[in-house]
Chains A and B, each alone.
Chain A
Amino acid sequence: MSGSKSNSIISAHGVTRILPGTVPVTLVKDIDLEIGHGEFVAITGPSGSGKSSLLYLLGLLDVPTEGAVHINDMPTENLDADARAHLRLETLGFVFQFHFLLPEFTTLDNITIPMRRLGRRSRKEMDERARELLEALGMGDQAHKRPDQLSGGQRQRVAVARALANDPPIILADEPTGSLDSKSTEQVFSILKGIVDKEGRTVVAVTHDIDLADRMYRRVHLIDGRIDTDVTARR
């Protein structure tokens, strides 16, 4: 790691992830990647190319076999599981292909859960923040519904709201529109783009959808666990 502070908010330095076993499987190999503030990055590639694995490594959900991931220039390889969890809580927001909302809780509860875990806001402030997010995502009237009372697109929007709850600078999305119809896909994509354009956050999204990837500002293409191309488009 260099002594000077870089512009990257999240970076991978020679990251390799090998799944141990009788036949070890290399998920990603020698990944060097610097992602700056306010970038809207698509990670693309064929199935099995290591897109999601790279996202989980960048999101500190997985630990590299070799190399290091830095968040805000801070190396994370020596952090224990609890410290990584805390960094996730403060800095990262996740959106998955499936909404993964807690089914027993209301929309509002699901969004306040990360805030309650962080514990920096009063209960009233948490509720206000959750309602603000729901309003911003066009779901102000769905606060007290449970996930099973919402459509797929609505659930995914709630998942985005939950990811934004603690105001993280980085949003990591794994196929966020993979299970949505075209209308919902467009809604969710617009939200993610708005997060970048209006709020200046960094969004890194794994996607199979080439059209969507083309509309994002940078595209990192993986093949067989390695970066094949890394193209930044003009905004």
Chain B
Amino acid sequence: MFALITDIALTHIAGRGRQTLVSILGVALGVGFSIAMAALMQGSQEEFVTSLIDALPHVDITDEYRDPPRQPADLAFDVAAYSNLRPREDTRGILNATEAMTALRAFIKGNAVASLKVQAVARAGGAETGISLTGTDPVREALISSFDEDMRKGKLSDLRASPFGIVIGDKLAAKLTVDIGDTIVVSSTGDITRRFKVTGLFHTGVVAQDNAFGLVNLKAAQIIAGRPNAVNEIRVRLNDAQSARDVATQIERLIGYKSVSWQEANESLLEAFFIRNIIMFTVVGAILLVAGFGIFNIVSIITHEKSRDIAILKSLGFAERDVRLIFLSEGLAMGLAGSLLGWALGFGLTKVLASVKFEIAQATEVTHLPVTFDLLHYAIAASFAIIAAATAGYLPARKASKLNPVDIIRGAT
């Protein structure tokens, strides 16, 4: 029976070749462009998130508390008044960092490194600029960040052989007019000054890092900060970056210090991506809705033109359901044909977009548009199109099935 329904439906739409083709093309364009757009959107999102994940620790544990500790008197009394309080010496840092690191290594799947962040001023000759120093273990640093891969001159591990060695961004080196092997003077805010030998230059592509960031040995950072054995940050890199949110919660529960996952740190950005995706799907939906109107139009025309055929089919013994199925099949056939054509178009467009090469002024290498091939895009676009086509076919189909054959036969005779 279904073969008969299909035969009649296909004969109808073949009888209006040009309009059918226009409707199918409308769906194909909608599906094709939505696939290409989704590939580009997801590609750019994935590239951005990947660079974010590569550039930042997956979990960043700092010497802060999410709920700052209260004054002891507040804990002991209902009401307490304070005056002339003297601040404590700045002894902030992660207490028992070694134990914390041991505890972390026992349950996280990944690597962690303890480090000390210090703000300082770097000088070379007459040039002077602010620098954010991170004292770290170069070997572990290579496991948790991408600095090792971003080295343009020297190696990160060269720091091990040079207790007062420093690795800086290439832009910072240019500002200070130094190169590998040169010496720069670093002064901390506590007026401790040391000479550091430049052992490496990196280029991360992140301007803030390339312009004002340096890596030194942990001991050297503790000396320049005047804080022996202090650590104010533990950075964690997980094998599964997506698990960072759960791991951060577990760490915070375990050691008490504020642990921020990369997702939490970039919440607003991820929200922006979410909103961008909603906008994308809205636009895609609108395109397919317009395509759906095309199908509605053609199926409506066919039902109008074929009202006599509907009457005769009903007189032969076709049920209302059969008539509905015929015209619904016409909408679906156009949706299906449009989707298949749209898949090919979408695939082609995505290929073309992926092959587009361009150069950004600051970048040194040729860049491609980031695109992602994902079967889900094809499935979603086709589902959207087929649902739109089915709806567009169903409305006139329902009307056609309700036609009274007697009225039409009387009209025809």
| B413 close to A175 (CB less than 8 A) | yes
Return the chain A residue nearest B317 by Cβ.
Answer: A89
Q: At the interface, yes or no: A39 with Cβ under 8 Å from chain B?
A: no
Given known pairs A102-B309, A117-B4, the reply for A61 and B405 (CB within 8 Å) is: yes
Instruction: Flag A126-167 by CB within 8 Å of B: 1 or 0 each.
Output: 000000000000000000000000000000000000100010
B123 CB to nearest chain A CB (Å): 89
Residue count of chain B within 8 Å CB distance of chain A: 30
Docked-complex contact B413 and A98, CB < 8 angstroms? yes
- Residues of A179-222 whose CB lies within 8 A of B: none
Given A94-B315, A117-B316, A104–B15 Cβ distance below 8 Å? yes
Please state if B413 and A85 are interface contacts (CB–CB under 8 Å). no
CB distance from B310 to the nearest CB of A (A): 11
Find chain A residues with CB under 8 A from B413 CB. Answer: 52, 96-98, 174-175
User: In the complex the two chains form, is A81's CB within 8 Å of B410's CB?
Assistant: no
Measured in the bound complex, the distance between the Cα atoms of B308 and A88 in whole Å is: 18
Q: Taking the complex as formed, is B319 at the interface, i.e. its CB lies under 8 A from any CB of chain A?
A: yes
Q: Is the CB of A114 within 8 A of B316?
A: yes
- Complex Cα distance, B308 from A97, in Å, reads 13
Residue of A nearest to B311 (CB): A100
Instruction: Check: A228 CB closer than 8 A to any chain B CB.
Output: no
Asked if A102 and B319 sit within 8 Å, CB to CB, the answer is no
Chain A residues positioned under 8 Å from B3 (CB to CB): 116
- How distant is the Cα of A30 from the Cα of B54 in the complex, in angstroms? 89
Partner pick for A85 among B312, B317, B406, CB 8 A cutoff:
B317
> B318 to A117, Cβ gap below 8 A?
yes
Q: Binary interface profile of B, 1-35, with partner A (CB < 8 Å = 1, else 0)?
A: 10110011001101100000000000000000000
Q: How far is the CB of B306 from chain A (nearest CB, A)?
A: 9
Is the Cβ of A100 less than 8 Å from the Cβ of B312? yes
Q: Judge if B366 is at the interface, Cβ distance under 8 Å.
A: no
B161 at the interface (CB under 8 A from A): no
Contact A56–B320 (Cβ < 8 Å): no
Tell me if B153 counts as interface (CB < 8 A to partner A).
Answer: no
Q: Would A86 and B316 be within 8 Å (CB), given that A62-B406, A96-B413, A97-B413 are in contact?
A: no
Give complex CA distance A166, B316 in Å. Answer: 10
Closest chain A CB from B46 CB (angstroms)? 50
Q: Quick one: given A82-B321, A102-B309, are A61 and B410 in contact (CB under 8 Å)? A: no
Which chain A positions have C-beta within 8 A of B7? 109
Contacts of B321 in A (CB 8 A): 82
A-side contacts of B410, CB under 8 Å: 52
Instruction: Answer whether residue B279 sits at the interface, using C-beta atoms and an 8 A cutoff.
Output: no
Contact: A105 with B11, CB < 8 Å?
yes
* Cβ–Cβ < 8 Å partners of A102 in chain B: 8, 11, 309, 312
Measured CB to CB, the closest approach of chain B to A18, in angstroms, equals 14
Given A61-B315, A116-B1, 5 more contacts at CB 8 Å?
Answer: A100-B409, A102-B312, A113-B313, A117-B4, A174-B409
On B, residues with C-beta under 8 Å from A are 1, 3-4, 7-8, 11-12, 14-15, 308-309, 311-322, 404-406, 409-410, 412-413
* 9 residue pairs, one from A and one from B, having the closest CB atoms: A89-B317, A82-B319, A88-B317, A85-B319, A100-B312, A116-B4, A104-B11, A94-B315, A114-B316
- Ordered by A's residue number, 16 sampled pairs between the chains whose C-beta atoms are within 8 Å are A59-B315, A61-B405, A82-B320, A85-B320, A85-B322, A92-B317, A100-B308, A100-B412, A102-B8, A102-B309, A113-B4, A114-B317, A116-B3, A118-B317, A119-B1, A166-B317
